[in-house]
Amino acid sequence: MGKKGSRVQVWRRAAVAALLGAACSWGAQAALVTITGTDFDLTYDTTKLGLFGAPTLAGNSIFFTFNAFAAESLNGAGVVTQNSTVSGLVLKAKNGFEFGAFDLAEFGDYKLSGSGSSVQVSGQLRAFSIASSINTQTTANLSLAPGSSLNLNDGLLHDWAALARIDANTQPLSVPPVFGVPTNVIQARAREVGLTIENQLTAFTDPQSAGLRQAFIEKKFAGVQMTVSPVPLPPSVALMAAGLAAGLWLVRRRRTG
C-alpha cells in the first residue's frame, strides 16, 4: 500500500475516533432524570447538580441534602469561599394546575473563634417560563431568616437559616425591547418552569489578629416549596358553568317542589 493509502486510513481512524468521542460526550451531557409527582413532574440534569446532589421530590417540594458544602478559614487565612449552583431543574405542572409561588429555605451551622472571624451566606433563587425563557427571568436573593444570625463568636456550633421567595409580586429582570415586555414568571402563568439555585458560603479570619482563629460555615439542607393552584377558567367558560349550575338547581327545585 502506498503512502497515499496509508494517509487515508489514518484520516479515517481519526474521524472514527472523533465521532466516538463526540458520542460519548453527548451521552454524558444528556443525563436527564424525571421524577413523577402529584401536581407536577421534576426533570433534572445529573451533570448540573454541583454540590447540591440529586434532588428529592416530596409532595409539592423538592429538597437537597449536602455532605461537603462548607467554607473554613483558619488562623489568618483571610477569605475562603465555596460556591455552587444547581441548574437544569424543570418543573412541569399537570392535572390542570399552575405555579403560584416558589419558597426556598436553607439550613446549616457555623462556628466562630477568635477576634476578627466572620462568616457569610448568600445566594439567589431564579425561575423562568420554559415557553418564554428570556423575558420571564425572575429572581429573589437569599437573606437570613428572622431570628437567625451569623455573629455568635464563642467557639461553639450554631444553626442558621436563610430564605428566598418568588411570587406574583417579585420584579422580573429587565430585558431589551426586542425580547418583549418583562413578565413575572408567576404572572406569565407558566405551566413549565426552569429553576436555578445559586449559593456562596464565605469564611474569614483576620491575618492581623493573634491567637487561635477559626471561621467555619456549612450548608446541610436546601428545599423549595411550590405553591400550586388550579388553572382558572376563562370568563366565558366560567359564565357558562355558572349558568349550567343555576339551570340544574332550578330543575332540581321544580322536581322536589
Among the listed residues 199, 108, 105, the one whose alpha carbon sits nearest the alpha carbon of residue 150: 108
Q: What is the pLDDT of residue 257?
A: 57
Q: What is the pLDDT of residue 2?
A: 55
Spatial neighbors of 105 by CB under 8 A, at least 6 apart, are: 145, 161, 162, 163, 222, 223, 224, 225
| Cell 408567576 -> residue | 186
pTM score, whole prediction: 0.79
Task: State the Cα–Cα distance between residues 120 and 122, nearest whole angstrom.
Answer: 7
Q: How many domains does the chain have?
A: 1
* 135 found inside a domain: yes
* 117 found inside a domain: yes
* 7 found inside a domain: no
Spatial neighbors of 251 by CB under 8 A, at least 6 apart, are: none
Q: What is the pLDDT of residue 229?
A: 85
Q: Which residues of the chain fall below pLDDT 50?
A: 4, 8, 10-12, 15-16, 18-20, 22-27, 233, 235-242, 244-246, 248-249, 251
Cβ–Cβ < 8 Å for 193, 128: yes
Domain with 50, as residue range(s), is 34-246
Q: What is the pLDDT of residue 15?
A: 45
Q: What is the pLDDT of residue 196?
A: 98
Task: State the Cα–Cα distance between residues 184 and 232, nearest whole angstrom.
Answer: 18
Task: State the Cα–Cα distance between residues 191 and 87, nearest whole angstrom.
Answer: 18
Cβ–Cβ < 8 Å for 118, 251: no
Q: What is the pLDDT of residue 11?
A: 43
Among the listed residues 192, 169, 224, 200, the one whose alpha carbon sits nearest the alpha carbon of residue 56: 224
Q: What is the pLDDT of residue 6?
A: 56
Q: What is the pLDDT of residue 242?
A: 45
* 251 found inside a domain: no
* 6 found inside a domain: no
Q: What is the pLDDT of residue 202?
A: 98
Among the listed residues 34, 31, 98, 106, the one whose alpha carbon sits nearest the alpha carbon of residue 60: 98
